Amino acid sequence: MELPRSIPKVCEVELVRGAAAGAAAAPDLLLEVAHGATTAAHFDGLRAELRGDYDGSLRDFFFVNTDVGAPELAAAIARAVVAADPRRSALIVRCLVPRTFVDCNRRVDDDTIARAAKAGEMTPGLQPWVQLAADRALLLERYRAYRDAVTAAFAAVCGHGGTALCVHSYAPRSVDVAVDADVGKNLRLAYAPDRVGSWPLRAPVDLITHDPDGRALAAPRLTQLVQAELAAAGFEVAQNGAYSLHPVTLAHGFAVRYPARTLCFEVRRDLLVPEFVPFVELHTDAKKIAAAAAPFARALLADLG
């Protein structure tokens, strides 16, 4: 068994191993953060490498569409599990590729066409503003590198009887605008003070357990344990409230490949940061991260036995 390694500008991989964990044992837990590029430096660094003419408002789209707090939450869950049971180990894979250009939780092929998405549709894998061949080649190269790394991570953990969590965060409200050339302008209009309150408020935690046809794909016992622990901690929990586990996502493919070994979820971002403010870089609140991580860690420990 070979674990994936960190790849510059693609992903960070960390193994959190308990003091009593076997040196050669497969990790018990995988925490994947597919939208882990959450800082301005992530966006600005990739933007500087691309040759195309990209509208400045894409930075606004990045800040409201990336999973702020998810990397810190994943790390907190991993460390809490290992601290409570030093026999355990956890593998964390954080994507560093901003989904503003290519989404590393989508099925993207070499012949995938960059396209827009209507309001309410899944955001595309390759964004419509990526038109230059050189930019497309760079983005697909990094996408493939991430896909290969995370595929190896799932094989190393779930393929040896472990469990994977796909850790995401979402904006507090379901703000649906088309993902097209006007996305930045339309997001600014949608988040205007006199309009933002009209969008539906999302559940604090959403467990994404079923595909669009209603077929259950998540680990059933772990789902029940997580739901119970979150409720006991005072978190309202939905199942598939905002999203289902769509076949266009890599998470869906891993859930099918490793039945009852995965759980994908979203945590509302205002529960992970001091205050949710759109269009700016946000930083996490350590106490909020710890509070959100604790129920997941308790559920995982109970499931691991």
pLDDT in tens, 101-146: 999 999 999 888 888 888 877 888 999 999 999 999 999 999 999 9
Give the model's pLDDT for residue 118. 83
Q: Are 119 and 131 in contact (CB under 8 A)?
A: no
Give the model's pLDDT for residue 120. 72
pLDDT at 98 over 90: yes
Give the model's pLDDT for residue 116. 84
Q: Of all residues in the chain, what percent carry a pLDDT higher than 90?
A: 91
Spatial distance between the Cα atoms of 140 and 135, rounded to a whole number of angstroms: 9
Could you read off the pLDDT of 49-59 as tens digits, one per residue? Answer: 999 999 889 99
Confidence of residue 23 (pLDDT cuts 50, 70, 90): confident
Give the model's pLDDT for residue 292. 98
Q: Work out the number of other CB atoms within 10 angstroms of the CB of residue 103.
A: 25
- Give the pLDDT mean for 291-303: 98
Give the model's pLDDT for residue 121. 77
Spatial distance between the Cα atoms of 178 and 122, rounded to a whole number of angstroms: 10
Q: If you average pLDDT over every residue of the chain, what do you get?
A: 96
pLDDT at 42 over 80: yes
Q: Of all residues in the chain, what percent carry a pLDDT higher than 70?
A: 100
Give the model's pLDDT for residue 102. 97
- Give the pLDDT mean for 207-226: 97
Q: Which amino acid is at 293?
A: A
Spatial distance between the Cα atoms of 186 and 175, rounded to a whole number of angstroms: 10
Give the model's pLDDT for residue 2. 87
pLDDT at 262 over 90: yes
Q: Which residue's entry shows tokens 């789902």?
A: 223
DSSP assignment of the chain, as one string? ------BTTTEEEEEEE-TTS-TTSPPSEEEEETT---SHHHHHHHHHH--S---TTHHHHHHHHS-TTHHHHHHHHHHHHHHH-TT-EEEEEEE-S-TTTB-TTS---TTPPP--B-TTSPPPSB-TT---HHHHHHHHHHHHHHHHHHHHHHHHHGGGT-EEEEEEEE-SB-----BSTTHHHHHHHHTSTTTGGGSPBPPSEEEE-B-TT--B-S-HHHHHHHHHHHHHTT--EEESSS----TTSHHHHHHHHSTTSEEEEEEEGGGTSSS--TTS-----HHHHHHHHHHHHHHHHHHH-
pLDDT at 1 over 90: no
- b (16+ CB within 10 A) / e for 29-62: bbbbbbbbbbbeebbeebbeebeeebeebbbbbb
Spatial distance between the Cα atoms of 106 and 117, rounded to a whole number of angstroms: 14
Give the model's pLDDT for residue 115. 83
- Give the pLDDT mean for 22-30: 93
